[in-house]
């Protein structure tokens, strides 16, 4: 693809068709096995890279397509809408969280070193914030990075890290000023996973997103050079806050895509399934439920379109991104639950994708900031000035 300033409808259709063909040949035939294995094969990342589906908005000078945020979100939607949430979610962390951190805050050397390999899939990216005692509240981070000559020595552990098993590089949040209060004194480091002292724990078993590797990570005297520092020293929390609106908007876009996919599956099912001598779609309860859920989807879609316009002009603030993440992920869980109900007993069977979408949806209200944290952030903006 050539670098583009705008993402035309024709280009959107071309990219959508490319993704659908890729899914038909490289994902759909294998996805159930990946879910059973509870991990995707490492090779899928290189196939995604070869197809041009990773880090689509990275500039061409770093090996990217030179696209824009809309292109990234289209890719997000195309993988999540048909129910491949494990793949779409892991791609999102790699392309829409880790890569922008490096592009926006990295040195030229860091960009040249990591971004081309992330575009190709040769290096899978992860970000390690969460710890056993620190989730949404980063004030509890205990992982430390201490200066020793011209190196930093990192000690600590992380958990619930997406892409943890396949990652070749992990953006690691560590405390560099032990005397700084709260979330101050945190810094970010680019840690290559082949460093001595770095190790991966088990691939965690989850309620949903089974094929998405989610891991514990351990740092025992891991030495990284000064050049591994991402952004300014002790400014890690500020960088995290700067990048969170994109992360939360990406999750919201995925939530809307999942709603759309679930509603499409359900419409097909209730039109085919017979009950009391007629399709389920002729029963008033079915019709009213589908009408309510379609309306909820459309309302959230409209809000997300507004948020994407704000993001593209640099005007998306943290409270609005929090509203988007809160509204869409809560709606996703309601809609997918309602869709599963219309499948009846078959909706509870793993052979129907709606059951997987139901299990996959639940984490959306937790990661990227819980719904409770989102409400508090919005409340501060509304009530505290």
Q: Domains (ranges, CATH) in the chain?
A: 9-123 (1.10.540.10), 127-232 (2.40.110.10), 237-383 (1.20.140.10)
Taking CB atoms within 8 Å and a gap of at least 24, the contacts of 105-112 are 105/188, 105/230, 105/231, 105/239, 106/190, 106/230, 106/231, 107/227, 109/227, 110/190, 110/227, 110/230, 111/62, 112/62
| DSSP helix/strand/coil, 33 | helix
Residue 60, φ and ψ in degrees, nearest 5: -65, -30
**385 residues of the chain, pLDDT tens digit each:** 333 346 788 989 999 999 999 999 999 999 999 999 999 999 999 999 999 999 999 999 999 999 999 999 999 999 999 999 999 999 999 999 999 999 999 999 999 999 999 999 999 999 999 998 876 667 789 999 999 999 999 999 999 999 999 999 999 999 999 988 878 899 999 999 999 999 999 999 999 999 999 999 999 999 999 999 999 999 999 999 999 999 999 999 999 999 999 999 999 999 999 988 999 999 999 999 999 999 999 999 999 999 999 999 999 999 999 999 999 999 999 999 999 999 999 999 998 999 999 999 999 999 999 999 999 999 999 999 7
With a CB cutoff of 8 Å and minimum separation 6, the contacts of 368 are 244, 247, 248, 251, 325
Distance CA 325, CA 234 (A): 28
Sign for the pseudo-dihedral over CA of 19, 24, 29, 32: positive
Distance CA 219, CA 171 (A): 13
Catalytic residues: 247
Spatial CA neighbour of 254 closest among 12, 118, 22, 86: 86
User: Where would I find the H helices in the chain?
Assistant: 9-22, 31-37, 43-51, 69-80, 85-92, 99-105, 108-120, 236-272, 284-312, 318-343, 353-361, 371-383
User: What pLDDT shows up at residue 138?
Assistant: 76
| DSSP helix/strand/coil, 253 | helix
At 218, list the tokens. Answer: 């351990």
């Amino acid at each position: 693809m050539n670098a583009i300033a705008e993402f035309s409808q024709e280009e959107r259709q071309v990219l959508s068709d490319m993704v659908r063909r890729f899914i038909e040949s490289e994902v759909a035939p294998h996805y159930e096995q990946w879910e059973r294995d509870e991990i995707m094969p490492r090779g899928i990342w290189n196939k995604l890279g070869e197809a041009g589906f990773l880090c689509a908005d990275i500039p061409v000078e770093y090996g990217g397509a030179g696209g824009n945020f809309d292109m990234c979100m289209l890719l997000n939607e195309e993988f999540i809408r048909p129910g491949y949430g494990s793949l779409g979610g892991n791609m999102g962390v790699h392309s829409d969280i880790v890569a922008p951190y490096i592009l926006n805050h990295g040195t030229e050397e860091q960009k040249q070193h990591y971004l081309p390999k992330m575009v190709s899939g040769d290096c899978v990216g992860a970000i390690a914030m969460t710890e056993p005692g620190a989730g949404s509240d980063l004030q509890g981070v205990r992982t430390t990075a201490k200066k020793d000559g011209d190196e930093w020595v990192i000690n600590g552990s992380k958990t619930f890290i997406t892409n943890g098993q396949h990652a070749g590089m992990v953006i690691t949040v560590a405390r560099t000023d032990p005397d700084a209060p709260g979330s101050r004194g945190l810094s970010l480091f680019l840690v290559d996973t082949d460093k001595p002292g770095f190790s991966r724990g088990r691939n965690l078993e989850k309620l949903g997103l089974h094929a998405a590797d989610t891991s514990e990570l351990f740092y025992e005297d891991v030495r990284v050079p000064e050049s591994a520092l991402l952004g300014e020293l002790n400014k890690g929390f500020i960088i995290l806050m700067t990048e969170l609106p994109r992360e939360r908007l990406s999750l919201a876009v995925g939530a809307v895509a999942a709603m759309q996919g679930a509603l499409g599956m359900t419409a097909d099912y209730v039109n085919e399934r017979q009950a009391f001598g007629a399709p389920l779609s002729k029963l008033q309860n079915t019709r009213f439920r589908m009408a309510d859920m379609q309306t909820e989807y459309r309302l959230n879609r409209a809000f997300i379109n507004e948020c994407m316009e704000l993001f593209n002009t640099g005007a998306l603030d943290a409270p609005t991104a929090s509203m988007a993440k809160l509204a869409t992920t809560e709606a996703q869980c309601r809609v997918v639950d309602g869709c599963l109900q219309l499948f009846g007993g078959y909706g509870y069977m793993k052979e129907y994708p709606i059951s997987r979408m139901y299990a996959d949806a639940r984490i959306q209200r937790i990661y990227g900031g819980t719904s409770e944290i989102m409400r508090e952030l919005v409340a501060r903006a509304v009530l505290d000035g």
